[in-house]
Amino acid sequence: MPLLKFSRRQFAKIQFSKILGWSTLGMSGATAARRADAQAALPRESRTAPPGFPNGFLWGTATSAYQIEGAVNEDGRGPSIWDLFTHQPGTISDRSTGDTADDHYHRYKEDVQLMKALGAKAYRFSIAWPRVFPDGTGTPNPKGLDFYNRLLDELSANGIEPFATLYHWDLPQALQTRFGGWTSRDTSKAFADYAAYVAGRLSDRVKHFFTINECSRTVSLGHEYGSDAPGLKLPRVELNQVRHHIALGHGLAVQAIRAHAHAGTKVGPAENAVSCIPAIDTPANIRAAEIAMRELNAGYLTVMLEGKYTDAYLAQAGADAPKFTPEDLRIISSPVDFVGLNVYMPDHYVVAADNISGFTLAPFPASFPHMDAPWLRFGPETMYWTPRHVAKLWNVKSIYITENGTSGTDQPAADGSISDLDRVMYLRNYLAQLQRATAEGVPVHGYFLWSLLDNFEWSDGLEKRFGLYRVDFDTQRRTPRLSASFYRETIARNAIV
């Protein structure tokens, strides 16, 4: 056999054509490569249009109160469980706190201009419960709510639609002290009262509310592993009860919003659903991935959207199963208007199996790729399968991607530019999968990129930077990264760029 010699470039082209199967389509790899070269040589306006998103697709960015606001002692705000947690030694990797964070409380006008510069049409932020009710319940603090009034007015003046999250983990410390936080259903009830109050006052301008951000993380990291506030490591029986009370809080808040908000206000959860991807795209694996998705989200989306815990969930919990009433399940499954999904990484690749559950979870090799944060596996197809499963399993008609993004390590160059090519690569690949989903009719109506700007990344402190804008935490200077240009162009063209 003659030894063929290829240049690196030729070799890459041949591999590429093999992947796309051009030769089997009757076009040689060389011809196809020539065509691709010819496309690239055309002026931009003559090229084939990039894959687009549906008309009216809503592009936004996301943040949360404790991660950006700072001003923790201003205008009557009460302490939250995160204030106490961050001030305990050994909880935060770089010993930082959210005391100042991005100082957004004072710089919100500047930050709204950052959104505007992107051309973003929507903004997902959270309301700090302890600003509104410093003691968790009782007398509201008008100055606390005023901050959100100012923010909403600023957003409206700049044509940006607000999407408000009611709970992004900053529980008033008073409720932790008084009731043991989410270990008690009194906290679920207090959450509903707070939701009712906020909806009554803000729903003239906020038309979309998210109840609780990532129930599953607050249960596991906050109450099982203790690496998030309130830093508890509960036994399984109590952990299951916390999970139930959080789901109950979601349902009670949905009802409270329906009862107190202006007509037409919409509400739903914002969950980081456990994502289950068919390891290889076969009908049997797809079905197995759907089964896995339903089971592995049993305490969260499944109970919220079906009004029951699955048999397998209850059987597995055994004597440690949560105590609940049929009325609780009815409340938890109060109808929602949409489902918000925080999508970052693949949790599981699923293979069909002839066992009692119908699936197995493929183990991850140590070499599986990840982004800067070690937990953040790179698996863009999760952005296709997660909303697709949710729409199909529970007949959900409206989905928002409430978070997606990555941290990275970059430094400004001498000219001040910041080349975060890893973030651009990540976003482009994830958005391509989102485009695939919308093109197939999966009802995703908007996307909120996490995050507008670097912020306080919980137990990773200020070290993990997720922003389109870099923040110098000494001077509070915001500098756009390359990814900000990427996102601006994506929004302007409503297409992947």
Whether residue 214 lies in the annotated active site = yes
The residues that touch ligand NOJ, with contacts defined as CB under 6 A, are: 64, 67, 213-214, 342, 403, 450, 457, 466
Which residue type is seen at 56? G
Residue number, 329 or 343, with CB nearest to ligand NOJ? 343
Q: Tell me whether residue 85 or residue 450 sits nearer to ligand NOJ (CB atom).
A: 450
Q: Which CB atom, from 295 or from 454, has the smaller least distance to ligand NOJ? A: 454
How far apart are CB 329 and ligand NOJ at their closest, in Å?
A: 26
Take residue 322 and report the two structure tokens written for it: 């949560």
Per the structure block, which two tokens stand in for 123? Answer: 């903004």
Cis peptide before 451 (omega within 30 of 0): yes
Q: Which of 161, 224, 271, 403 is catalytic?
A: 403
Rg (CA), the chain: 24
Minimum distance from residue 212 beta carbon to ligand NOJ (Å): 11
Q: What burial class does residue 53 get, using C-beta atoms within 10 Å of its C-beta: 0-12 exposed, 13-18 middle, 19+ buried?
A: buried
Catalytic residue among 214, 224, 271, 457: 214
DSSP string, 154-173: HHHHTT-EEEEEEESS--BH
Provide the minimum distance between the beta carbon of 215 and ligand NOJ in the complex, in angstroms, as a whole number.
11
Nearer to ligand NOJ, 288 or 453 (CB): 453
Rounded CA-CA distance 133/6 in Å is 69
| DSSP 8-state class, residue 190 | H
For 413-435, b/e burial (b = at least 16 CB within 10 A) is eeeeebebebbbbbbeebbbbbb
Evaluate whether 62 touches 449 at the Cβ level (below 8 Å). Answer: yes
Nearest to 452 by CA among 49, 125, 26: 125
Scanning the structure block, which residue is given the tokens 């959860």? 269
We find the least distance from the C-beta atom of residue 234 to ligand NOJ, in angstroms, to be 21
Q: Which lies closer to ligand NOJ via its Cβ, residue 341 or residue 396?
A: 341
Among candidate residues 312, 326, 140, 342, the one with its CA nearest the CA of residue 248: 326
Asked whether 63 and 124 are in contact (CB, 8 A), the reply is yes
Residue with tokens 């959900």: 396
Is residue 463 among the annotated active site residues? no
Residue-wise DSSP of 310-371: -HHHHHHHGGGPPP--HHHHHHHT---S-EEEE--S--EEEEE-SSSSSEEEEPPPTT--B-
Query: Torsion angle, CA of 147/150/153/157, rounded to 10 degrees?
Result: -130
Dist CA 30 CA 10 (whole Å):
9
Cα separation of 12 and 149, whole Å? 56
Based on CB atoms, which residue is closest to ligand NOJ, 214 or 290? 214
**Whose Cβ is closer to ligand NOJ: residue 201's or residue 465's?**
465
Residue for token digits 């009262």? 193
CB of 279 to ligand NOJ, least distance (A): 25
Q: Is the peptide bond before 79 cis (omega within 30 degrees of 0)?
A: no
Q: Which residue number, 61 or 64, has a Cβ lying nearer to ligand NOJ?
A: 64
CA–CA dist 304, 323 (Å, integer): 16
Active site residues: 214, 403
